[in-house]
A and B are shown apart, each in its own frame.
Chain A
Amino acid sequence: GDKVKQSPSALSLQEGTNSALRCNFSIAATTVQWFLQNPRGSLINLFYLVPGTKENGRLKSAFDSKESYSTLHIRDAQLEDSGTYFCAAEAGNRIFFGDGTQLVVKP
């Protein structure tokens, strides 16, 4: 979307390596969510963030509302991390999605 810009659009990682995905917002985002859409198409919620950081296993996410961006760090990438990662920003009553980052983790 034009209000939420995700980068990179696609990424290939070797198993065991680390990487970071980013979202930049052109709206006054109050909360951010990160989702993984698996090959079956299901959108799985990874994080719900107010400004600050959260960590869950090999994933860590940060949201800086003043600088209007959020990041998702993946540590020690595994094959099952493959899929499309979406960030979504809430502003007012609306939740705006980015266009996603397609991640492929290779053995």
Chain B
Amino acid sequence: NAGVIQTPRHKVTGKGQEATLWCEPISGHSAVFWYRQTIVQGLEFLTYFRNQAPIDDSGMPKERFSAQMPNQSHSTLKIQSTQPQDSAVYLCASSLDGGQNTLYFGAGTRLSVL
């Protein structure tokens, strides 16, 4: 079991470019969560899928951010027209079931927008 895999580990983009972050949950886990971590804001919830269906995206910025889970083995977080304030570590986690289960986090993707 390789755990939750996130790629890339580091991504540098220029202001206005697009960034796509990938997450492969633990095999058999039905829930996938995306969080963003910065020194100022701490760990912020972004969005949550269960059985590939979006359940709660209330933490996603309304513009420029989108997340998908096209199959049970991966989820993507896309940021269009990246801005310097998008710089953060983006963390993906999975759990067996969305409700009342242990979260397992990936190592994160550090996004730097220049």
Residues of chain A at the chain B interface (Cβ within 8 Å): 1, 30-31, 33, 35, 40-45, 48, 50, 86, 88, 90, 93-100
Report yes or no: A99 in contact with B107, Cβ–Cβ below 8 A.
Answer: no
Cβ contact within 8 Å between B42 and A30: no
Q: Are A42 and B103 in contact (CB under 8 A)?
A: no
- B: residues with CB less than 8 A from A are 33, 35, 42-43, 45, 48, 55-56, 58, 89, 91, 93, 98-105, 107-108
CB within 8 A of B42: which of A40, A43, A95, A99? A99
Question: Which residues of B sit under 8 angstroms from A98, Cβ to Cβ?
Answer: 42
Chain B minimum-CB-distance residue to A50:
B100
Contact B89 A41 (CB under 8 A): yes
From A1, A31, A88, A96, B100 is in contact (CB under 8 Å) with A31
A100 contact set on B, CB distance < 8 A:
42-43
Find A30's partner among B93, B100, B104 (CB 8 Å cutoff).
B100
Which residues of chain A come closer than 8 Å to B42, judged between CB atoms?
A: 1, 97-100
Residues of A within 8 A of B56 (CB): 93-94
Cα separation A1 to B38 with both chains bound (whole Å): 12
